[in-house]
Structure 1
Amino acid sequence: MGNRTEFWTSLTPNDPREAPAEAARLEAEGWDGALMVDSQCMFPEVWAYLTLAAQGTSRIKLATGVTNPITRHPSVTAAAAASLQVVSDGRAVLGIGRGDSALAYVGASPMAIGAFEHYLEVLQTYLRGEEVDLADAGAMVVNAKVGFDNLAIGSGPKGSSLKWLKDYGMPKVPIESYATGPKAIASSARVAETVILGLAAEINRVAWGVEIARTAAAGVGQDVGVGCAVVVMPHEDVRLARDLARPTVASMARFSAMNNKVIGPATPAQAETLLKLAEVYDMNRHGATAVQTEVLPDEFVDQFGIVGSVDTCVDRIREFVDLGLQRMTFWTPYVKTPDLAHSYDLLVNEVLPKVRAG
């Protein structure tokens, strides 16, 4: 299987005051990392939340899952991530994507791929403690008048950098970019340390994305880690497992047809479902049981999620591990019910130990 695959999960409490205890519990359960959503209209401020989580833990890695390039200037995002790196003693990871719910809830759409790649390059420059061209940095400030021509100052900064960063001697914060389409995967692989594939748990599609990422990284002479984000829902009753997984499967699968066109390999049946999902998706019920869950056939849920018995889930996860993935992130639903709690217990106490033993 090569290098050990890391297994991450998501932080779920909305109340940031619960973050230290929640992160400590995940750490005690053996997770390698935990991430928190950055969607300001749906959840509390992500960097405050992760800072509190860092103060309650000592080992687990902590990441945004994910931030976006539009609601924050790259210097602001870099400073926040670097601050978390200091507070956590080197456990911060900067997860970023082109934008989804954080933008949808303020009436905006994801950033264009070319602009996103440049944003990643500027972000990396800040995180390395290097200087960004001042005109470039100024051009990325929304609605700002660039330059100092009308200000009463004798001289201004020649470049833009995190001047305070060198005082701490911390390792650089790694960037992981979440991507779905081939252009986004390739551009991310050229700049970020890790690409997290937003292709759900359809193994053929994930294998396709892995190949794109590795080829693009090799083209610029660098290695890239590749991971994927999936939902895993073990349960003795496969029908119940499917129903528990459906809302998250819908949210994940939607990325593959956001522009009313199916991205990546898909069977005719899969393509039909993806297009129907894109047509009916209700962002007001993002991640919840709604009209989008009603259009997902059982077969689709089985393919785009990891559901069923403990052994079924173990076998499915091992297929992804065998692709040489650096990481798998298992999204945990935000709603807590006895059935979901039982499924989570099976995941932590039976599925993951068996996968790791194998």
Structure 2
Amino acid sequence: MGRKMQVGVRVPPCQPAREIGDFACEVEQAGFDALYVPDSQTLWRDAYLTLYASAVRTSRIRLVTAVSNVITRHPTVIAGLARSIDEAAPGRFVLGLGVGHSSVEPIGVAPSTGAQLRDGVDQIRRLVRGEQLTYGEGRARIRDPRPDGIPVHIAATGPRNLRLAGAIGDGAILLSGVAADPLRHAVGLIRQGAIEAGRDPDDLQITVAAHTMVTDDIERDARILKPVVATIAQKGGRGALELLGIKVDVPAHVPEVTPDLIHAEDWDLAVEVSSRWISDADAAAFARGFCLFGSAADIVERLHVIADLGITSVFMQHVGSWDLPERLVHSVGREVLPLLGDAAHE
């Protein structure tokens, strides 16, 4: 690997913040570099409170929102929250921001536009540094600022937001898996955005998210990915799936599964329902193409490949939204991270 690959894990705040804080200790002790917490107020507990609870229980790992947004939270609110977590964990907090799909859609609000995201990031940075901003007839300034600022990473999938991430972010977060050709294309657009903005693209951190499982039988275990594949098809990702030979048409709404396929409260039911459209062979192809499924050695080899594409960090996801990724943390910590050695994390 060129750069040192950072390895993190996504932890949904599906339990009280104190319990997530305890689990964060396990994540740190297992050797991970970062903890990523999603921000969706109708699904889970509060992301920032959860990260604060994790901050006071850990000493090394980075703490990242994956991701928050500037629609459900005003930039002044985010600035205050970011400053508070950074005080508890100096230099360890990273603000991940995106358009806010899972936060805004349940309440009937549109995701942020590129202009709104750009403006929100600018406001947050200026507020965190202690600048005074004007809002209509009001004036706002954050007391006890963080003059050095806080890193802001932009989640992106489409071409415009990928270029935007390169233009304004300290890093980018890619949520579309580890398939080499789409990653190469995405990294190119991020670097293009940075160059067009007069920035050095080599200064950017690029993180990719991937469902991960240490397994000796991909065909057997890939079935649990069917709701993930179905959701990608629902959300406009059919073209990406077709690159793997997966051709499916999934209805926009599946009423049997609550609240939706990707956040199903009953994952076994979601797998069963998704089997109407996603075959076992489709799930296995997705696992091999977009995910980190396989033996520890297979996963390490895949991490080397994506590092060579310009990826600096990966955050691993287990399948599901309503339990902690205990099996993932323990298996990766025990089998994968030791193989990466100092080339992956310190």
CA distance in structure 1 between the aligned counterparts of 2:31 and 2:302, rounded to whole angstroms? 20
Deviation at 1:328, TM superposition (A): 0.7
Equivalent positions of 1:301-340 (< 5 A) are 301-333=287-319, 334=321
What is the Cα deviation at residue 246 of structure 1? 4.1
Question: Structure 2 matches for 1:184-195, cutoff 5 A?
Answer: 184-195=161-172
SS of the residue corresponding to residue 199 of structure 1 reads: coil
The residue number in structure 2 matching 1:27 is 28
Q: Which amino acid aligns with 1:214?
A: R
Q: Secondary structure at the match of 1:165?
A: coil
Q: 189, 193, 197: which is aligned to 1:212?
A: 189
Q: Give how far 1:336 is off.
A: 5.2
What pairs up with 1:235-254 in 2 under 5 angstroms? 235-248=215-228, 253=232
Query: CA deviation digits over 1:168-211, x for unaligned, max 9?
Result: x5641111111100101111221110011122222211111011
**Distance in 2 separating the partners of 1:81 and 1:211:** 30
Bigger Rg, structure 1 or 2? 1
With 207-216 and 101-110 compared, the bigger mean Cα shift is at 101-110
Please, what TM-score do these two structures have when normalized by structure 2? 0.84
Residue 76 of structure 1 corresponds to 77
5+ residue gaps in structure 1? 139-146, 148-156
1:7 aligns with 2:7: yes
- CA pair 42-293 structure 1, distance change in 2 beyond 3 A: farther
Segment of structure 1 superposing worse, 284-293 or 213-222: 284-293
Q: Which residue of 1 aligns with 2:18?
A: 17
Would you say the 8 A contact 2:171–2:206 is kept in 1? yes
Distance 1:344 1:278, change over 3 A: farther
- What is the percentage of aligned positions where both structures have the same residue? 24
- Determine if contact 2:31/2:337 at 8 Å carries over to the other structure: no
1:88-167, aligned counterparts within 5 Å?
A: 88-132=89-133, 134=134, 137-138=135-136, 147=137, 159-162=139-142, 164-166=143-145
Question: Could you say if the C-alpha distance between residues 11 and 73 of structure 1 is closer, same or farther in structure 2, counting changes exceeding 3 Å?
Answer: same
AA matched with 1:3: R
Residue of structure 2 in register with 1:172 after alignment: 149
The superposition leaves residues 35-67 of structure 1 with CA deviations (integer Å, 9 ceiling, x where unpaired) of 211111111111111111111111111111111
The answer on 1:295 being equivalent to 2:280 is no
Tell me, what secondary structure is at the counterpart of 2:193? helix
Partner Cα separation in structure 2 for residue 118 and residue 191 of structure 1: 10
SS in 1 for 2:32: coil
Contact 1:19 1:52 in 2 (8 A): yes
- Bigger drift between 43-52 and 347-356 goes to 347-356
- In 2, distance between residues paired with 1:268 and 1:311? 23
* Structure 2: 5+ residue stretches without partners: none
Three-state SS of the structure 1 residue aligned to 2:213 is strand
SS in 1 for 2:15: coil
Match of 1:182 in 2: 159
Moved over 6 A (4+): none
Task: Measure, in 1, the Cα distance between the counterparts of 2:58 and 2:244.
Answer: 46
The residue identity in structure 2 corresponding to 1:350 is E
Aligned residues: 325
CA gap 1:294/1:9 in 2 versus in 1, 3 angstroms: farther
Higher relative contact order structure (alpha carbons within 8 Å, sequence separation ≥ 6):
2
CA contact (8 A) 1:202 1:303 kept: yes
Residue in 2 that maps onto 1:233: 213
Give the superposed CA RMSD.
2.7
Q: 1:201·1:231 contact (CA, 8 Å) conserved in 2? A: no
Give 1:341 shift: 5.4
8 Å contact 2:97–2:154 — kept in the other structure? yes
Change (3 A) 1:79 1:263: farther
2:178 to 197, 201, 207: 201
Q: Residue 8 of structure 2 aligns to a residue in which SS?
A: strand
